[in-house]
Amino acid sequence: MSSLHAQLQSRNVDPELASLILTLAECGSAISTLVRGGALSGILGATESENVQGETQKKLDVIANDLIKERLSAQPLVQALASEEEDHSVDANPAGRFLVSFDPLDGSSNIDINSLVGTIFSVLPAQSGVSGEAAFMQPGRNQLAACYILYGPATVMALTTGQGTWMFTLDPQTDTFVLSDGQVQIPQQTGEFAINASNQRFWQPAMQRYIADLIAGKEGPRGRNFNMRWIAAMVGDVHRVLSRGGLFTYPQDTKNPAKPYKLRLMYEANPMAMLVEQAGGVASTGYETILDIEPEQIHQRVAVILGSKDEVETCLDYHKA
């Protein structure tokens, strides 16, 4: 069995980037311990505050955010960090080479029902002469690494440094992430899709038509049956896509005209798009490639359609009509 550290060395990952990735893994291991403790850890329930997104924070949202912020601020390689739970970016070490964006606890509505949650990280290069939030205004193509850590029956890390996507499983006996799949490949075709169907009446016509044709199954224009899956945590739905294929989407909608998009570009869409592309999949908003978007602010939201290449491209065809 090969450890995360050994894999980073064997694949000649920049030693300083590798050191940062090991710090991210340590954050994930610590949060995994808290998640496993559940009610015994005092992490369940909501706080009385809202984050910058206007969402009520769960206790573990705050705990995970503070844990990651503390550990990354102490890592000399990190110049600044940006969190979904913070109003603004946070300066760390001026001489650091890296910027880290993160969602400390994706799917936090699942915490109290003991369902899947996870942490998502994105690593960008620091920019000479650029500081504060302006330094983070880089397209996803600039990412040096992306990963998520899924807290489920097993704790699993999916990681890319631009050399494909790898999967690691946390060994609870040694507290070490061990390689479980050295070359993740998403099947090009699929019979599964994931979407929050309760928003159907608010979708754009293109997505309405696409999902209607999937649901019509063998008797519809697609001529075959599809299964729908929905975990209510992007990290869980993307993990399924990486594990066995599928299409995941959180499309544009009119439910709240002030917020037509749900997912955050820097904390969710960009890192997941990199992981999916590096595994042979496709990630788009429906109209442009996610990794090519020039961000305008750190909490920017976008539509997301990602997964198995052939099915995503079929979905995009509907958006061209």
E strands within 205-256?
227-228, 247-250
Find out whether 294 is annotated in a ligand binding site: no
Find out whether 219 is annotated in a ligand binding site: no
234-to-230, 231, 311 alpha-carbon distances in Å: 9, 8, 18
d(CA 80, CA 98): 7
Find out whether 292 is annotated in a ligand binding site: no
Amino acid found at 266: M
Find out whether 109 is annotated in a ligand binding site: yes
Show the tokens assigned to 107.
Answer: 């799917």
Find out whether 268 is annotated in a ligand binding site: yes
Q: Are 282 and 292 in contact (CB under 8 A)?
A: no
**DSSP H stretches of helix in 48-204:** 59-73
Find out whether 309 is annotated in a ligand binding site: no
d(CA 135, CA 15): 23
Find out whether 70 is annotated in a ligand binding site: no
List, in order, residues 6 or more apart from 74 with CB less than 8 Å away: none
Which residues sit opposite 228 in a β-bridge?
A: 193
Find out whether 196 is annotated in a ligand binding site: yes
Please state the residue numbers annotated as binding site for substrate.
Answer: 106-109, 196, 262
Please state the residue numbers annotated as binding site.
Answer: 84, 103, 105-109, 196, 262, 268
Please state the residue numbers annotated as binding site for Mg(2+).
Answer: 84, 103, 105-106, 268
